[in-house]
């Protein structure tokens, strides 16, 4: 099949999922065309089956807000027509679903039929999508999609609640990881670089937006640190980073917290870590938690959104109510207190991650494509 993928090319989970999906499809022999405004950060290998088409928005003084969605629609028309694509798969509803709808209509007027799938990822529905000014367009674009998928059952339900006029059937296809990529042996990253005295290594990976509650990460760590020799690694960057550095200073834990900024492939650092913290306000799935579990790292998370579909309480980690820093710290300590318990949780985390291996999820997308192409 010839598949066009539209996504945000950044470090966000939706872009990561879209890119990994495209890479896996290309490896299976499909031709995959990424249509984005810059090369996706995870597009880290070359293949004869992978193509990249840049959506470049020209700057014109009249435009205070350059019309990205229109440029994307035009680019989609162009790529579908000249590359003879069979299907378009857009990740994140805003504005990709409406851009795909527009392209589909233009192509239909020229006698070309192109089905498009919209995959809902989370904040397009739970945060951004709830802004009433987006509602009519998102509802329309979802209803007009040839198929709609959501990355968790929780997100599917949230969509029907937040968008009561959405009538389209939403199919749940969970996010995935490629377990093989997490089974590397030695790497350049050594645990003693960050935990020189054999301390436990706690880790958080996110885009440091308010929704991630990184402050809770630091407060949980402070409590754990009082009981167990430990260090905290922060991976990623975003608006909350400054506040977090301030909080670390106030709590006098700067020497035990290390910020690494954005990392393209976090597996190297995950595989030397002991515990992943994800206390988010809301999380449609929690891909970062799954990546941690694939690296044999148990997860302390909130129980919001789709996290309970990924992290199993008392098995791969623990889940608590949003903001219950006290309970999260107690649970973290109970996992880290001795090697036997920690090793059991590590093994469980890996076992749970196995359920989301790409070999199980990829056929779901392939079958969906086939059913629409006919």
Q: Which residues bind ligand GMT (CB under 6 A)?
A: 12-15, 17, 92, 121-123, 126, 151, 175, 207, 209, 211, 282-287
Least Å distance, CB 86 to ligand GMT, is 24
Cβ proximity to ligand GMT, 121 vs 204, nearer residue: 121
Alpha-carbon gap, residue 117 to 110, rounded angstroms: 21
Alpha-carbon gap, residue 337 to 348, rounded angstroms: 17
The set of residues, in sequence order, having a beta carbon less than 8 Å from that of 151 and lying 6+ positions away, is 17, 119, 120, 121, 122, 172, 173, 174, 175, 284, 285, 306
State both tokens at 91.
């990740």
Cβ proximity to ligand GMT, 98 vs 207, nearer residue: 207
Least Å distance, CB 66 to ligand GMT, is 21
148 three-class SS: strand
Least Å distance, CB 130 to ligand GMT, is 12
Cβ proximity to ligand GMT, 36 vs 126, nearer residue: 126
Residue 130 CA: distances (Å) to CA of 97, 127, 139, 256:
16, 5, 11, 38
29-59: burial string, b at 16+ Cβ within 10 Å, e else: ebbbbbbbeeebbbbeeeeebbbebebeeee
Least Å distance, CB 371 to ligand GMT, is 22
Least Å distance, CB 294 to ligand GMT, is 13
Cβ proximity to ligand GMT, 158 vs 199, nearer residue: 158
Would you call the peptide bond into 125 cis, given omega within 30 degrees of 0 as the criterion?
no
Report helix, strand and coil shares of the chain as percent, to nearest 5: 45, 15, 35
Cβ proximity to ligand GMT, 123 vs 331, nearer residue: 123
Contact 30, 115 (CB under 8 A): no
Cβ proximity to ligand GMT, 127 vs 373, nearer residue: 127
Least Å distance, CB 13 to ligand GMT, is 3
Contact 143, 166 (CB under 8 A): yes
Least Å distance, CB 293 to ligand GMT, is 13
**Residue whose pair of structure tokens reads 């990822």 in the numeric block:** 121
Cβ proximity to ligand GMT, 287 vs 333, nearer residue: 287
């Amino acid at each position: 099949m010839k598949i066009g993928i539209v996504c945000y090319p950044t470090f966000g989970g939706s872009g990561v999922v879209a890119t990994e999906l495209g890479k896996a499809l290309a490896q299976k022999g499909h031709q995959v065309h990424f249509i984005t405004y810059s090369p996706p950060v995870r597009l880290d290998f070359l293949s004869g089956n992978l193509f990249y088409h840049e959506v470049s928005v020209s700057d014109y003084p009249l435009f205070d807000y350059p019309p990205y969605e229109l440029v994307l629609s035009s680019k989609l028309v162009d790529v579908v027509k000249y590359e003879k694509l069979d299907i378009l798969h857009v990740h994140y509803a805003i504005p990709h679903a409406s851009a795909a709808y527009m392209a589909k209509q233009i192509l239909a007027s020229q006698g070309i039929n192109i089905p498009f799938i919209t995959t809902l990822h989370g904040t397009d529905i739970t945060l951004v999508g709830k802004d009433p000014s987006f509602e009519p367009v998102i509802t329309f674009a979802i209803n007009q999609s040839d198929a709609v998928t959501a990355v968790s059952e929780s997100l599917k339900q949230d969509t029907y609640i937040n968008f009561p006029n959405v009538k389209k059937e939403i199919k749940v296809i969970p996010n995935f990881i490629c377990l093989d990529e997490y089974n590397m042996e030695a790497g350049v990253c050594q645990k003693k670089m960050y935990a020189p005295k054999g301390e436990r290594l706690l880790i958080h990976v996110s885009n440091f937006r308010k929704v991630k509650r990184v402050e809770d990460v630091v407060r949980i760590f402070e409590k754990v640190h009082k009981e167990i020799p430990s260090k905290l690694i922060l991976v990623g960057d975003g608006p909350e980073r400054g506040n977090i550095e301030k909080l670390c200073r106030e709590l006098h834990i700067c020497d035990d917290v290390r910020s690494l900024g954005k990392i393209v492939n976090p597996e190297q650092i995950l595989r030397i870590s002991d515990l992943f913290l994800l206390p988010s306000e809301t999380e449609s799935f929690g891909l970062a938690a799954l990546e941690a579990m694939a690296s044999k790292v148990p997860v302390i998370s909130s129980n919001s959104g789709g996290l309970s579909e990924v992290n199993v309480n008392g098995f791969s980690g623990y889940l608590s109510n949003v903001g219950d820093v006290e309970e999260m710290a107690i649970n973290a300590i109970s996992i880290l207190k001795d090697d036997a318990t920690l090793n059991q949780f590590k093994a469980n985390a890996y076992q749970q991650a196995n359920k989301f291996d790409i070999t199980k999820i990829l056929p779901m997308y392939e079958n969906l494509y086939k059913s629409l192409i006919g």
